[in-house]
């Protein structure tokens, strides 16, 4: 029997792009044999700001049944895939705030030796795809985690064009998640599960 793998897919999504990619990764990971927890992080923006953007408000309603992430989800996981839209080329405040709550686990060494990976979306083609993922991975270095980026390891990644992680350009809300992004997400999720299984089996 293959070694079991616990995977947490933890994301922040405002208007739904990251939520769609997170779901794609979760399904792919389950098909690869992982037990998956799909979790969103808490919204920090005021309700008035959310309601002023119809897509933002619609995503809140569409994801109401997805549980909020807790530090326990990271402790439980053998691998974690974080998802965030770019915010000025950086990780969103919402996801960063959640990561900052992991301090007690970090202090106990409980974030180390896990597999980590990330995905993102931007409004424009050069709007921070790579810088957001690199910024995310800075925290993983401090965790003592093992970064498993997809690299150019599959034909789908040459179409996607980002070796750091799955990324999507939503053209400021006019470009839904398409087959290229979905294929990249599946490749990344499967790779994360594969490496997490190997590391866990040898530990």
- Whether 63 and 14 have beta carbons less than 8 Å apart is answered as no
Query: Residue 73: what pLDDT?
Result: 98
Query: Residue 2: what pLDDT?
Result: 81
Query: Residue 203: what pLDDT?
Result: 81
In Å, how far are 31, 67, 115, 172 from 49, measured between CA atoms? Answer: 37, 22, 35, 17
- Going by C-alpha positions, the residue among 86, 105, 104, 108 that lies closest to residue 95 is 86
Is the alpha carbon torsion for 120, 103, 74, 200 positive or negative?
positive
What is the Cα–Cα distance from 17 to 20, expressed in whole angstroms?
Answer: 5
Cross-strand bridge partners of residue 122:
169
Query: Residue 172: what pLDDT?
Result: 87
Q: What is the pLDDT of residues 144-201, one digit of tens each?
A: 999 999 999 999 999 999 999 999 999 988 999 999 999 999 999 999 999 999 999 9
Q: What's the CATH code, domain 6-202?
A: 3.40.50.360
pLDDT mean for each 10 residues of the chain (203 residues): 92 97 98 98 94 93 97 98 97 98 98 98 94 98 98 95 96 93 98 97 88
- Going by C-alpha positions, the residue among 158, 164, 157 that lies closest to residue 138 is 164
Query: Residue 124: what pLDDT?
Result: 92
Query: Residue 98: what pLDDT?
Result: 98
């Amino acid at each position: 029997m293959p070694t079991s793998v616990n995977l947490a897919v933890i994301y922040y999504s405002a208007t739904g792009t990251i939520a769609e990619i997170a779901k794609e990764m979760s399904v792919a990971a389950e098909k690869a044999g992982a037990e998956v927890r799909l979790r969103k992080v808490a919204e920090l923006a005021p309700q008035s700001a959310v309601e002023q953007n119809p897509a933002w408000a619609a995503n809140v309603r569409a994801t109401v049944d997805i549980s909020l992430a807790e530090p326990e989800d990271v402790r439980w996981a053998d691998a974690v895939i974080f998802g965030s839209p770019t915010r000025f080329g950086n990780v969103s405040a919402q996801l960063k705030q959640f990561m900052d709550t992991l301090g007690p686990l970090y202090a106990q060494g409980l974030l180390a030796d896990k597999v980590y990976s990330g995905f993102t979306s931007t409004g424009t083609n050069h709007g921070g795809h790579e810088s957001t993922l690199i910024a995310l991975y800075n925290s993983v270095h401090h965790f003592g985690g093992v970064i498993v980026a997809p690299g150019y390891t599959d034909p789908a990644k040459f179409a996607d064009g980002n070796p750091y992680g799955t990324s999507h350009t939503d053209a400021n809300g006019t470009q839904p998640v398409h087959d290229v992004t979905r294929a990249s997400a599946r490749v990344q999720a499967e790779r994360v599960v594969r490496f997490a299984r190997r590391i866990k089996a040898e530990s």
